[in-house]
Chains A and B, each alone.
Chain A
Amino acid sequence: MFRLLKLISSFQNTLLLAFLLLLAFLMVVRYNQQQRHIMGDTLLEISGRVHKQQSKLLAFLRLPQQNDSLMVRTRELEKQKDSLFAQLQALRNQLLADTLDMGYVDSLYPAREQFDYIPCFAIQNTLHKSYNHILIDKGRKQGIRPGMGLVSPSGVAGRVVEVSDNFSLALSALNLSFKLSVMLEGTDYTGVYEWAEGNYQYGYIDALPLDAESLLEKSQKVVTSGVSTVFPRGYLVGTIASTENLSQDGFLRVKIKLATDFNRLYNLFAIDARHLPEIEELNERMNSDE
């Protein structure tokens, strides 16, 4: 027994090394890339605060570009608003004409909005890893919940996975485990968006049916299909960069250019799908019936 102990003590350095290596390896495997659960609330809060200060400085330097893109977006929304107003006015006039003798009409309110947009800022964002994340400066207190979609003014950006009181962490669309149901704009063909490591400007759509090939053309828009219920239908993901089929397994796989410029990601909106709890409840009821 004594000799055994002595033997062990002569290997103690190596044993310590092996133990620490094992510990580190278990950490990697256990808390894998998809969600950094080890960070937990407290650590996310701390590192969030640190990165927030840092990003304030960077944001200041980026102001001119941000301003430009916001101007473009504002103009677009303004146009949209005008056309919607015109439509509404036309409808109202028509209705008034139809029911002339009823006088005042006030039943013409739009249907209840299903999606709410919570404005937030990306305070930390990487591009060059295999599993990229975005750190956001809003958290549970501001209404962010895990599972919410994240969009930039120009397109889809990611999905929230972890939330602390004042900060949250999202899978970037540049993350190997980020998948999204998308469709070709103006058609019924749906596919799955995914990212392949390397370039932060390009992604892929996979699993498009083969008969969509004839419809493919360069710079055609690819939008969210709305199937996931996380993103509203028709939100821009990117445009087709090349029509070449990269897959051999009976589906189409094409390269797309992402609409969001991840290199200059700052203004974001978290999408609060208000009808989601209702759908989840339905699903749950269905599952419990089975």
Chain B
Amino acid sequence: MNELVKYIVVGLLYVLLQLFVFNHLTAFHLATPVVFILFLLMLPIDTPRPVLYLTAFTMGLIIDIFSENSVAGLHTFSSLLAVAFRSRLLILLGASGARGMDEFSFQNQGLLWYMAYLLPLIFIHHLAYFLLESLSFSQVFYTLFKAMVNTLYSFLFCYLICLIFYRK
């Protein structure tokens, strides 16, 4: 119960930070850091998948509604998609599965591990986001470029947060 309250408070903090700080850190009118997704990606490894999906859905929807002019459903869709690939990637990285479950923790991983884990998922989020936003493939290279720049920018902030808060 205590844990649950803690996660709800942390989740709310992420939403508030995203809305009031990170949404305004746009660089060159091109890249905006998306940080709330870190909360979803850093949830305990044994979180049941339905809980994961419903959290991603709710969080994405809240961000969508209160972001100054995101379209309803954009963050919802893309964060769901990113979270859907989470467990696959964790197995691939050897963190979960038959063996790793007990001893693995998100804390105190190195930069390389964070890159291998966060970069692909954040990229999935951004790619889905920008493709859906333009709803066409006509400017697919520009969209790809935008997704990549945004991924790197978001990763920077996510890594900083990991360094500061996900450390024991």
Contacts of B113 in A (CB 8 A): none
Residue of chain B at shortest CB distance from A58: B24
Whether A39 and B50, one on each chain, are in contact in the complex, defined by CB atoms closer than 8 angstroms, is: no
What separation, in Å, do the CA atoms of A24 and B66 have in the docked complex?
16
The answer to whether the Cβ of A95 comes within 8 Å of any Cβ in the partner chain is no
A197 near B139: Cβ-Cβ < 8 Å:
yes
Bound-state CA distance A282–B89 (Å) is 63
With a cutoff of 8 Å between Cβ atoms, the chain B residues found around residue A135 in the complex are: 68-69
Number of interface residues of A (CB under 8 A): 38
Q: What 1/0 mask marks residues of chain B from 118 to 162 whose CB sits below 8 Å from any chain A CB?
A: 000000000000001111000100100000000000000000000
Instruction: Judge if A86 is at the interface, Cβ distance under 8 Å.
Output: no
A31 located at the interface, meaning its Cβ lies under 8 Å from any Cβ of chain B in the complex: yes
Residues of B within 8 A of A33 (CB): 71, 133, 135
Annotate A184-217 by CB proximity to B: 1 below 8 A, 0 otherwise. 0000000000000101100000000000000000
8 Å CB contact of B134 from A27, A31, A130: A130
Any A CB within 8 A of the CB of B36: no
Contact with B along A1-20 (1 / 0, CB 8 A): 00000000000110011001
Q: How large is the interface on B (under 10, 10 to 19, 20 to 34, 35 or more residues)?
A: 20 to 34
Say how far B133's CB is from chain A's closest CB, in angstroms. 6
When A13-B50, A21-B81 are in contact, do A127 and B29 touch as well, CB less than 8 Å? yes
Q: Mark A53-75, 1 if CB is under 8 A from B, else 0.
A: 01000000000000000000000
- Which residues from chain A contact B134 at a C-beta distance below 8 Å? 130
B26, B77, B84, B139: the one contacting A25 at CB < 8 Å is: B77
A129 to B71, CA, bound (A): 11
Please report the C-alpha to C-alpha distance between residue A200 and residue B29 in the assembled complex, in whole angstroms. Answer: 8
Q: A17-B53, A128-B26, A197-B139 are in contact. Are A36 and B84 (CB under 8 A)?
A: no
Majority secondary structure of chain B interface residues (helix, strand, loop or mixed): helix
Verify B68–A36 contact, CB threshold 8 A.
no
- Of A43-51, A76-84, A111-119, A270-278, which stretch is located at the interface? A43-51
**How many A-B residue contacts, CB cutoff 8 Å?**
93
A16-B53, A17-B53, A197-B139 given; A126·B84 CB < 8 A = no
A268 to chain B, nearest CB (A): 16
B33-81 interface with A by 8 A CB criterion: 49-50, 53-54, 56-57, 60, 65-66, 68-69, 71-74, 76-77, 80-81
- A-B residue pairs, 5 tightest by C-beta: A27-B73, A24-B77, A128-B29, A28-B73, A24-B76
17 interchain pairs, CB-CB under 8 A: A12-B50, A24-B73, A25-B73, A25-B132, A28-B77, A28-B135, A31-B71, A31-B72, A31-B73, A43-B65, A124-B69, A128-B29, A129-B69, A129-B133, A133-B68, A199-B29, A200-B29
Interface positions of A (Cβ within 8 A of B): 12-13, 16-17, 20-21, 23-29, 31-33, 36, 38-39, 43, 47, 50-51, 54, 124-133, 135, 197, 199-200
